Amino acid sequence: MARDVMPRIVKERPDVRFQIVGRNPGPGVSALTELPHVEVHANVPDVGVYLEQASMLAVPLDSGGGTRLKILEAFAAGLPVVSTVVGCEGIDCRHGEHLWVTERDQFAEGLLEAIEAPELATEFAERGSQLAEEAYDRSAIGKLACTAVAEAVR
Protein backbone atom coordinates (compact mmCIF):
# COMPACT_ATOMS: atom_id res chain seq x y z
CA MET A 1 0.00 0.00 0.00
CA ALA A 2 2.73 2.47 0.92
CA ARG A 3 4.47 2.09 -2.44
CA ASP A 4 1.46 2.17 -4.75
CA VAL A 5 -1.42 3.81 -2.86
CA MET A 6 0.31 6.56 -0.89
CA PRO A 7 1.83 8.35 -3.89
CA ARG A 8 -1.63 8.57 -5.46
CA ILE A 9 -3.09 9.98 -2.25
CA VAL A 10 -0.24 12.40 -1.56
CA LYS A 11 -0.62 13.78 -5.08
CA GLU A 12 -4.15 14.89 -4.15
CA ARG A 13 -3.58 15.50 -0.44
CA PRO A 14 0.08 16.32 0.37
CA ASP A 15 -0.79 16.76 4.06
CA VAL A 16 -1.57 13.04 4.55
CA ARG A 17 0.73 10.82 6.63
CA PHE A 18 0.59 7.05 6.68
CA GLN A 19 1.52 5.38 9.97
CA ILE A 20 2.10 1.64 10.18
CA VAL A 21 1.73 0.43 13.76
CA GLY A 22 2.32 -3.22 14.53
CA ARG A 23 4.26 -5.97 16.15
CA ASN A 24 7.51 -7.30 14.71
CA PRO A 25 7.41 -5.75 11.22
CA GLY A 26 9.55 -7.56 8.69
CA PRO A 27 12.45 -5.90 6.88
CA GLY A 28 10.21 -4.98 3.94
CA VAL A 29 7.81 -3.09 6.19
CA SER A 30 10.60 -1.45 8.19
CA ALA A 31 12.17 -0.21 4.93
CA LEU A 32 9.00 1.76 4.15
CA THR A 33 10.20 4.53 6.46
CA GLU A 34 12.41 5.58 3.55
CA LEU A 35 9.29 6.72 1.70
CA PRO A 36 7.97 10.24 2.19
CA HIS A 37 4.84 10.50 4.34
CA VAL A 38 5.34 6.99 5.79
CA GLU A 39 6.20 6.16 9.42
CA VAL A 40 6.66 2.69 10.91
CA HIS A 41 6.10 2.21 14.64
CA ALA A 42 7.13 -1.24 15.83
CA ASN A 43 6.22 -3.03 19.05
CA VAL A 44 4.50 -0.06 20.64
CA PRO A 45 3.37 -0.56 24.24
CA ASP A 46 -0.03 1.07 23.65
CA VAL A 47 -1.68 1.21 20.23
CA GLY A 48 -4.36 3.44 21.77
CA VAL A 49 -2.02 6.43 21.57
CA TYR A 50 -1.84 6.01 17.79
CA LEU A 51 -5.59 5.49 17.48
CA GLU A 52 -6.13 8.77 19.34
CA GLN A 53 -3.86 10.59 16.87
CA ALA A 54 -5.28 8.94 13.75
CA SER A 55 -7.99 10.32 11.55
CA MET A 56 -8.86 6.93 10.02
CA LEU A 57 -7.77 3.31 9.73
CA ALA A 58 -6.78 1.75 6.40
CA VAL A 59 -6.94 -2.04 6.10
CA PRO A 60 -5.74 -2.97 2.59
CA LEU A 61 -5.47 -6.73 3.19
CA ASP A 62 -5.86 -9.10 0.28
CA SER A 63 -5.13 -12.33 2.17
CA GLY A 64 -5.27 -13.71 5.69
CA GLY A 65 -7.73 -15.17 8.13
CA GLY A 66 -9.41 -14.54 11.44
CA THR A 67 -11.29 -11.60 12.84
CA ARG A 68 -9.84 -8.17 12.18
CA LEU A 69 -9.40 -6.87 15.70
CA LYS A 70 -7.75 -3.68 14.42
CA ILE A 71 -11.05 -2.69 12.81
CA LEU A 72 -12.92 -3.32 16.06
CA GLU A 73 -10.30 -1.25 17.91
CA ALA A 74 -10.77 1.57 15.40
CA PHE A 75 -14.56 1.34 15.69
CA ALA A 76 -14.30 1.47 19.49
CA ALA A 77 -11.99 4.50 19.19
CA GLY A 78 -14.52 6.26 16.94
CA LEU A 79 -12.36 6.17 13.80
CA PRO A 80 -13.65 5.81 10.26
CA VAL A 81 -12.33 2.74 8.45
CA VAL A 82 -11.50 1.96 4.82
CA SER A 83 -10.96 -1.74 4.14
CA THR A 84 -10.90 -4.40 1.48
CA VAL A 85 -13.45 -7.21 1.64
CA VAL A 86 -10.77 -9.52 3.03
CA GLY A 87 -9.72 -6.87 5.53
CA CYS A 88 -13.10 -6.83 7.26
CA GLU A 89 -13.94 -10.53 7.09
CA GLY A 90 -15.43 -11.88 10.28
CA ILE A 91 -16.99 -8.58 11.33
CA ASP A 92 -20.70 -7.94 10.81
CA CYS A 93 -20.16 -4.55 9.20
CA ARG A 94 -21.47 -3.13 5.95
CA HIS A 95 -20.05 -0.87 3.27
CA GLY A 96 -21.78 2.47 3.28
CA GLU A 97 -23.05 2.03 6.82
CA HIS A 98 -20.07 1.36 9.09
CA LEU A 99 -17.08 1.77 6.76
CA TRP A 100 -15.87 2.02 3.20
CA VAL A 101 -15.13 -1.33 1.54
CA THR A 102 -13.17 -1.18 -1.69
CA GLU A 103 -11.23 -3.45 -3.99
CA ARG A 104 -7.47 -3.47 -3.47
CA ASP A 105 -6.82 -1.88 -6.87
CA GLN A 106 -9.23 0.96 -5.98
CA PHE A 107 -7.92 1.48 -2.46
CA ALA A 108 -6.46 4.95 -3.09
CA GLU A 109 -9.77 6.13 -4.45
CA GLY A 110 -11.59 4.68 -1.43
CA LEU A 111 -9.25 6.47 0.97
CA LEU A 112 -9.58 9.75 -0.92
CA GLU A 113 -13.37 9.43 -0.87
CA ALA A 114 -13.25 8.97 2.91
CA ILE A 115 -10.81 11.86 3.38
CA GLU A 116 -12.93 14.18 1.28
CA ALA A 117 -16.21 13.32 3.03
CA PRO A 118 -15.59 14.16 6.71
CA GLU A 119 -19.29 14.33 7.62
CA LEU A 120 -19.92 10.89 6.15
CA ALA A 121 -16.74 9.59 7.80
CA THR A 122 -18.08 10.82 11.14
CA GLU A 123 -21.42 9.07 10.54
CA PHE A 124 -19.68 5.80 9.63
CA ALA A 125 -17.40 6.09 12.67
CA GLU A 126 -20.40 6.62 14.96
CA ARG A 127 -22.19 3.59 13.51
CA GLY A 128 -18.99 1.53 13.72
CA SER A 129 -18.57 2.52 17.36
CA GLN A 130 -22.16 1.53 18.09
CA LEU A 131 -21.65 -1.81 16.32
CA ALA A 132 -18.47 -2.51 18.31
CA GLU A 133 -20.25 -1.75 21.58
CA GLU A 134 -23.44 -3.67 20.83
CA ALA A 135 -21.96 -6.75 19.18
CA TYR A 136 -18.29 -7.06 20.12
CA ASP A 137 -17.57 -5.65 23.56
CA ARG A 138 -16.97 -8.05 26.45
CA SER A 139 -20.51 -7.98 27.79
CA ALA A 140 -22.01 -8.66 24.35
CA ILE A 141 -19.60 -11.53 23.72
CA GLY A 142 -20.27 -12.87 27.24
CA LYS A 143 -24.01 -12.94 26.62
CA LEU A 144 -23.50 -14.78 23.33
CA ALA A 145 -21.20 -17.29 25.02
CA CYS A 146 -23.69 -17.90 27.84
CA THR A 147 -26.51 -18.39 25.34
CA ALA A 148 -24.41 -20.81 23.30
CA VAL A 149 -23.51 -22.86 26.39
CA ALA A 150 -27.13 -22.93 27.58
CA GLU A 151 -28.30 -24.11 24.15
CA ALA A 152 -25.58 -26.76 24.05
CA VAL A 153 -26.65 -28.08 27.46
CA ARG A 154 -30.26 -28.38 26.33
pLDDT digits 0-9 by tens, 12-50: 999 999 999 988 889 999 999 998 899 999 999 998 899
Mean pLDDT, to the nearest integer, of 94-101?
A: 96
> Any idea which of 26-35, 56-65, 91-100 has the lowest mean pLDDT?
56-65
Overall fold of domain 5-153: Rossmann fold (3.40.50)
- pLDDT top residue among 152 and 42: 42
pTM of the entire predicted model: 0.85
| Model confidence band, residue 99 (pLDDT cutoffs 50, 70, 90) | very high
Burial pattern 11-37, b for ≥16 Cβ within 10 A else e, equals: eeeeeeebebbeeebeeeeeebeeeeb
Residue 62's pLDDT band (boundaries 50, 70, 90)? confident
Average pLDDT, stretch 89-99? Answer: 93
Residue 137 binned pLDDT confidence (cut-offs 50, 70, 90): confident
How far apart, in whole angstroms, are the C-alpha atoms of residue 36 and residue 24? 22
Cα dist from 45 to 15, 48, 60, whole Å:
27, 9, 24
Between residues 153 and 132, the one the model is more confident about: 132
Task: Tell me what the pLDDT averaged over the chain comes to.
Answer: 87
Q: Where do the structural domains in the chain lie, given as residue ranges? A: 5-153
Phi, psi (rounded to 5 degrees) for 146: -60, -40
Question: What is the structure's pLDDT at 146?
Answer: 56
Beta bridge partners of 58: 82
Which pLDDT value is given to residue 139? 60
